[in-house]
Amino acid sequence: MSDELRDLYQEVILDHGRHPRNHRHPEDPTHHARGDNPMCGDRVEVFLTLRDGVIADAAFEGRGCAISVASASMMTELVAGKTPEAAEALFRGFQALCTGADHTHLPDVDASDMERLEVMSGVRQFPMRVKCATLAWHTLSAAMAGADRASSETDGGKS
């Protein structure tokens, strides 16, 4: 990647980190879960409103490093309007992206969504950061599954 592109990508992450989208507590979410990443001190709570089989609204609250907040912000934008299955598929794609695994042949993953998530792929060089980037997604997954808390399954160190 050129330096120019890398700067641009950081710009996107910084923008989401400073001005997170959907950073609010909805009045009547149907699903929610909390997640935390003690390695970095990131905490997030994800709120979903499922209606007619799709995620009608996704929002989050929490605080943490720029990567964790930016990732949560981007996630809420990307999963809105999707079925839980499609959101779960995108989570698998994002996990693969963050850990450097091949994500080009995963089923049911929207290529343009993956393109937008590509900005986060720099975390694969930093296993600690992978946890920051995937925290919101683990929490989303837990919320959709009806769990109150995200499992503390580890993403880091799979190099």
Q: Which is nearer to Zn ion, 48 or 133 (CB)?
A: 133
Binding marks (x or -) toward Zn ion, 9..48, rule CB under 5 A? Answer: -------------------------------x-x------
Query: Which residues neighbour 18 within 8 Å (Cβ) at sequence distance 6 or greater?
Result: 66
- If one asks whether residue 54 binds Zn ion (CB under 5 A), the answer comes out as no
Query: Which residues neighbour 106 within 8 Å (Cβ) at sequence distance 6 or greater?
Result: 89, 92, 93, 96
- If one asks whether residue 59 binds Zn ion (CB under 5 A), the answer comes out as no
CA distance 9 to 14: 9
Do 97 and 115 meet the contact criterion of CB atoms below 8 Å apart?
Answer: no
How far are the Cα atoms of 6, 17, 84, 155 from residue 36, in angstroms, in the given order? 28, 17, 22, 13
Q: Which is nearer to Zn ion, 54 or 128 (CB)?
A: 128
- Residues 60-89 touching Zn ion, rule: CB under 5 A, are 64-65, 68
Q: Of the candidates 132, 136, 144, 150, which one interacts with Zn ion according to CB under 5 A?
A: 132
- If one asks whether residue 57 binds Zn ion (CB under 5 A), the answer comes out as no
Residues that bind Zn ion (CB under 5 A): 40, 42, 64-65, 68, 132
